[in-house]
Amino acid sequence: MKQEVSGARPQKGNPFVSFLWVILIVLFLNWLIFPNLMNRQIRATDYSTFVEKMDAGAIKEVMVKSGQIYFTVLENGEELTYQTGEIEDPQLVDRLLKAKSPNANGKITFSEIVPEENSPVLNFILMWILPGLLFYIIWKQASRSIQARMGAGGNFMSFGNGGAKIYADSEIKTTFADVAGQNEAKEMLKEIVDFLHNPKKYTDIGASLPKGALLVGPPGTGKTLIARAVAGEAKVPFFAISGSEFVQMFVGMGAAKVRDLFRQANEKAPCIIFIDEIDAIGKRRDSGLGGNDEREQTLNQLLTEMDGFDGRKGVVILAATNRPENLDKALLRPGRFDRRIQMELPDLEGRKAILNVHLKRVKHEEVDIDVVARATAGTSGAELANIVNEAALRAVRMGRNKINTADLEESVETVIAGAQKKGKVVSAEEKRIIAYHEIGHALVAAMQTHSAPVHKITIIPRTSGALGYTMQVESGEQVLMNKDDLFNRIVTLTGGRTAEEVICHIVTTGASNDIEQATKLARAMVTRYGMSDKYDMMGLETVNNAYLGGDTSLTCSAETAANIDLEVLDIIKKAHEKARCLIQENIQVMHEAATFLLEKETITGEEFMHILHSVRQEK
């Protein structure tokens, strides 16, 4: 169904054009008052030049006007007009009369123009009508554009709400084709699209569709994108507003805006209201002391409006958040946001699809999407979009006009580890330690079963501070991780430091990130995954913000907390010991691979495996 929203689009007659008109009028009036000086080029000069020219008999015409002398000189057959300040000079008239001139009668024509008093009518226009007109035009434009934003029937109340972006957009080009993966979410939203297309089908049977759907998921998974796609597919007006826009400085405005929004939506039905980042207003009301009055009023108004409108009319409310656990329970009860649509980080297939969508928008050669998708486990759609863009930028930098696989791989590394930092000075000894450290990770990973294959090792410093890194790429998608997998991962993380110890007999700060990650993993094994013998299946930690970083808080006694530390230490010690064994058994591989890496700075997984196998066969 096509929807006309004539009053709802911002009008084109803008303040700039009327401003131009005002300038034109002023220029015209100016020309009326100073007619003949406007169209001559006038040069400033000093009084002595004036006198000199007069004595030389070069002046044709002199005109005195409001304390300025304008005189026209014939120079090399050309008439030039000069301007100079008038000086108290009683003999000026005498001199002018006596002076010679190139004029036909040999005399200078001279005159004084007494500035004419403007006629009272003109004065009145300039002083009163013009400024009034100016203000009227500005006011008219401002109120018109705000009305356009607020919808055709904008009332005076809405005047104070400037800056809000509530206008119905009826020409959204985004469709479901732009949203890759997320098939479950699309499936659920298709029903809403269908409802907006054929409400009759649903109302005939007496059904009323969910009034609202809440999109939840980590940042960058396409929540905002898919909401736009729903509007694009349904071809209905789309009222988009961000939660924070409701909360304004003046108490009561947020609630007024909610009222306004729903009133307009009702007029434009069928349509979609989209409230992005709804947690800004929808936060639980009991949380914290001294709640924010303004926010609560706005939330209450929102709850009231959602109850108040008729679900069969065709107004669908979508909202997005990445903190669903903070939302007020009242918002989530049936009849309000009763549908919850989960947007997850994309899996392998999803990542391929997203890369394909974004690659379609850039020029590229045949690229190996599979490798890129496998190397980017855990990244969001927004990051993948960024990777494609970085690759395009790199291609331009390299003077090519198409993206190739190398661009994509490099930009994956840029997004994950930061840009290359070639200028950083690293001494030969440090380089050697870094090389052994990275080979240590790679070797330990390669010697264990159930460990992701090594894809690449490099010792080029990165802007993120990494001095080198070992990139492992999962061969497939793993849904469940078992205890051995996790332990092996910790062993791999300890591999770098172990290599420093075993070969260079030194410990460095280079392992700090490994230590952090290993500890986090070991801790999660004990407190959340029930993988320690001592605590069996007891949950000792809860995750607070699943979609934003996932920080945790302990839910056990202080005594248990101390014991957890011991358990964690135990796991890490075992892992460290295992890594030491693996490295000591393969010292020869370590040396050969490190030599190769020091020479080339980068070594691929295949090259590494080749070294590994040839050394082991020799034995």
Work out how close the CB of 320 gets to ligand ADP at its nearest, in angstroms, rounded to a whole number: 6
Residue closer to Mg ion (CB basis): 358 or 456: 358
**Radius of gyration for the chain, computed over Cα atoms and rounded to the nearest angstrom:** 38
Residue closer to Zn ion (CB basis): 372 or 439: 439
Lookup result for tokens 């939840």: 216
Restricted to residues 385-444, the positions that interact with ligand ADP (CB under 6 A) are: 385
Judged by CB under 6 A, which stretch of 380-388, 428-436, 437-445, 454-462 contacts ligand ADP?
A: 380-388
Residue closer to ligand ADP (CB basis): 201 or 360: 360
Work out how close the CB of 381 gets to ligand ADP at its nearest, in angstroms, rounded to a whole number: 2
Q: Which two tokens stand for residue 145?
A: 């554009």
Work out how close the CB of 453 gets to Zn ion at its nearest, in angstroms, rounded to a whole number: 17
Question: Is residue 224 near ligand ADP by the rule CB under 6 A?
Answer: yes
Q: Give the residue numbers of the binding site for ATP.
A: 217-224
Element (H, E) at 600: helix 587-600
Question: Is residue 213 near ligand ADP by the rule CB under 6 A?
Answer: no
Secondary structure of 252-297 as H, E, C letters: CHHHHHHHHHHHHHHHHCCEEEEEECCHHHHECCCCCCCCCHHHHH
Q: Give the residue numbers of the binding site.
A: 217-224, 437, 441, 514
* Interacting residue with ligand ADP among 354, 446, 471, 540 (CB under 6 A): 354
Distance CA 388, CA 62 (A): 72
DSSP one-letter string for 345-400: PP-HHHHHHHHHHHHTTS-B-S--HHHHHHHTTT--HHHHHHHHHHHHHHHHHTT-
514 binds, among Mg ion, ligand ADP, Zn ion, none (CB under 5 to 8 A by kind): Zn ion
Question: Is residue 223 near ligand ADP by the rule CB under 6 A?
Answer: yes
Work out how close the CB of 350 gets to Mg ion at its nearest, in angstroms, rounded to a whole number: 18
Work out how close the CB of 574 gets to Zn ion at its nearest, in angstroms, rounded to a whole number: 19
Residue closer to Zn ion (CB basis): 372 or 447: 447
CB atoms within 10 A of CB 582: 20
Distance CA 261, CA 18 (A): 30
The contact mask relative to Mg ion for 220-239 (x = CB under 5 A, - = no) is: ----x---------------
Distance CA 393, CA 371 (A): 20
Residue closer to Mg ion (CB basis): 115 or 219: 219
- Among residues 310, 56, 76, the alpha carbon closest in space to that of 208 is found at 310
Residue closer to Zn ion (CB basis): 125 or 460: 460
- Among residues 227, 221, 168, the alpha carbon closest in space to that of 5 is found at 168
59 binds, among ligand ADP, Zn ion, Mg ion, none (CB under 5 to 8 A by kind): none
Strands (DSSP E) found in 502-560: 541-543, 552-554
* Interacting residue with ligand ADP among 192, 306, 357, 493 (CB under 6 A): 357
Question: Is residue 605 near Zn ion by the rule CB under 5 A?
Answer: no
The contact mask relative to ligand ADP for 173-212 (x = CB under 6 A, - = no) is: ------xxxx------------------------------
Amino acid occupying residue 610: H
Judged by CB under 6 A, which stretch of 167-175, 191-199, 219-227, 332-340 contacts ligand ADP?
A: 219-227
Question: Is residue 324 near ligand ADP by the rule CB under 6 A?
Answer: no
Distance CA 25, CA 32 (A): 11
Sheet of 109-113, strand order: 42-44, 78-85, 68-75, 59-65, 109-113
Judged by CB under 6 A, which stretch of 113-121, 215-223, 245-253, 394-402 contacts ligand ADP?
A: 215-223
Distance CA 30, CA 34 (A): 6
Work out how close the CB of 219 gets to Mg ion at its nearest, in angstroms, rounded to a whole number: 7
Judged by CB under 5 A, which stretch of 25-33, 283-291, 395-403, 507-515 contacts Zn ion?
A: 507-515
Contact at 8 Å (CB) between 458 and 434?
no
Distance CA 421, CA 438 (A): 18
Restricted to residues 137-176, the positions that interact with Zn ion (CB under 5 A) are: none
Residue closer to ligand ADP (CB basis): 220 or 282: 220
Distance CA 257, CA 273 (A): 13
* Interacting residue with ligand ADP among 45, 158, 221, 298 (CB under 6 A): 221
Question: Is residue 381 near ligand ADP by the rule CB under 6 A?
Answer: yes
Total site size for Zn ion, rule CB under 5 A: 2
Question: Is residue 390 near Zn ion by the rule CB under 5 A?
Answer: no
Angle at 467 between CA 466 and CA 469, to 5 degrees: 75
Secondary structure of 18-65 as H, E, C letters: HHHHHHHHHHHHHHHHCCCCCCCCEEECCHHHHHHHHHHCCEEEEEEE
Work out how close the CB of 369 gets to Zn ion at its nearest, in angstroms, rounded to a whole number: 29
Task: Please give the biggest Cα pair distance in the chain.
Answer: 122
Distance CA 197, CA 174 (A): 17
Question: Is residue 496 near Zn ion by the rule CB under 5 A?
Answer: yes
Tell me the residue number closest to ligand ADP, measured at CB: 381
Query: Rounded to the nearest 10 degrees, what angle do helices 253-268 and 293-308 cross at?
Result: 20
Question: Is residue 500 near Zn ion by the rule CB under 5 A?
Answer: no
Judged by CB under 6 A, which stretch of 90-98, 223-231, 522-530, 601-609 contacts ligand ADP?
A: 223-231
- Reply yes or no on whether 500 is catalytic: no
Judged by CB under 6 A, which stretch of 222-230, 360-368, 526-534, 562-570 contacts ligand ADP?
A: 222-230
* Interacting residue with Zn ion among 277, 514, 578, 611 (CB under 5 A): 514
Residue of 245, 294, 438, 567 marked catalytic: 438
CB atoms within 10 A of CB 73: 21
How far is the CA of 55 from the CAs of 48, 81, 479, in angstroms?
Answer: 10, 17, 102
Distance CA 287, CA 491 (A): 42
Total site size for Mg ion, rule CB under 5 A: 1
* Interacting residue with ligand ADP among 154, 210, 222, 605 (CB under 6 A): 222
Q: Which two tokens stand for residue 400?
A: 């090519």
Work out how close the CB of 228 gets to ligand ADP at its nearest, in angstroms, rounded to a whole number: 8
* Interacting residue with ligand ADP among 199, 212, 220, 510 (CB under 6 A): 220
Question: Is residue 305 near Zn ion by the rule CB under 5 A?
Answer: no
Amino acid occupying residue 61: E
Residues lying near Zn ion in the complex (CB under 5 A): 496, 514
By annotation, the residues acting in catalysis are 438
Residues lying near ligand ADP in the complex (CB under 6 A): 179-182, 219-225, 320, 354, 357, 381-382, 385
Residues lying near Mg ion in the complex (CB under 5 A): 224
